């Protein structure tokens, strides 16, 4: 079950949109190796507005993600790619529909 989540808002600097999109696609390979991360979405909200929405089964997984490689990469790139620091909100998931895992 997914109980907790993160909502991260990102505002790209003018002219850096393509770099932001490449960065978000590239970090997916890191997220795919995180056992505590249930779902992870990189979203484009507008011409320069982006967000990351990710879910976790518990706070331990969420905090591990926040201390992990994606957060580190985001901090390293922040001043170059974003017009303001990313906002990170810890949120609770009230209900979710997830794909069922197939049992063999």
Q: Which CATH number do you get for residue 8? A: 3.30.70.100
Residue with tokens 């992990």: 68
What are 46-72's pLDDT values in tens digits? 999 999 999 999 999 999 999 999 999
Tell me the pLDDT of the chain averaged across its residues. 94
Q: Confirm whether 78 is domain-assigned.
A: yes
Total number of domains constituting the chain: 1
**C-alpha closest to that of 74 among 3, 10, 13:** 10
pTM: 0.92
Would 36 be classed as within a structural domain? Answer: yes
Is residue 32 one of the residues assigned to a domain?
A: yes
Q: Does the structure show a pLDDT above 80 at 28?
A: yes
Is 40 inside a domain boundary?
A: yes
DSSP letters for the chain: ---EEEEEEEEBPTT-HHHHHHHHHHHHHHHTT-TTEEEEEEEE-SSSEEEEEEEESSHHHHHHHHTSHHHHHHHHHHHHHBSSPPEEEEEE-S----PPPPP-
Domain that holds residue 50: 4-92
In a domain, 55, yes or no: yes
Block residue for tokens 């393509």: 18
Q: Does residue 99 lie in a domain region? A: no
Average pLDDT of the residues in 4-16? 98
């Amino acid at each position: 079950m997914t109980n907790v989540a993160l909502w991260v808002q990102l505002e790209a600097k003018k002219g850096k949109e393509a770099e932001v999109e490449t960065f978000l696609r590239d970090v997916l390979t890191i997220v795919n190796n995180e056992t505590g991360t249930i779902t992870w979405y990189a979203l484009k909200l507008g011409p320069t507005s982006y967000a990351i929405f990710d879910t976790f089964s518990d706070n331990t997984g969420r905090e591990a993600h926040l201390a992990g490689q994606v957060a580190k990469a985001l901090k390293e790139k922040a001043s170059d790619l974003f017009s303001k620091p990313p906002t990170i909100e810890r949120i609770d998931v009230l209900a979710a529909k997830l794909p069922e895992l197939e049992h063999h």
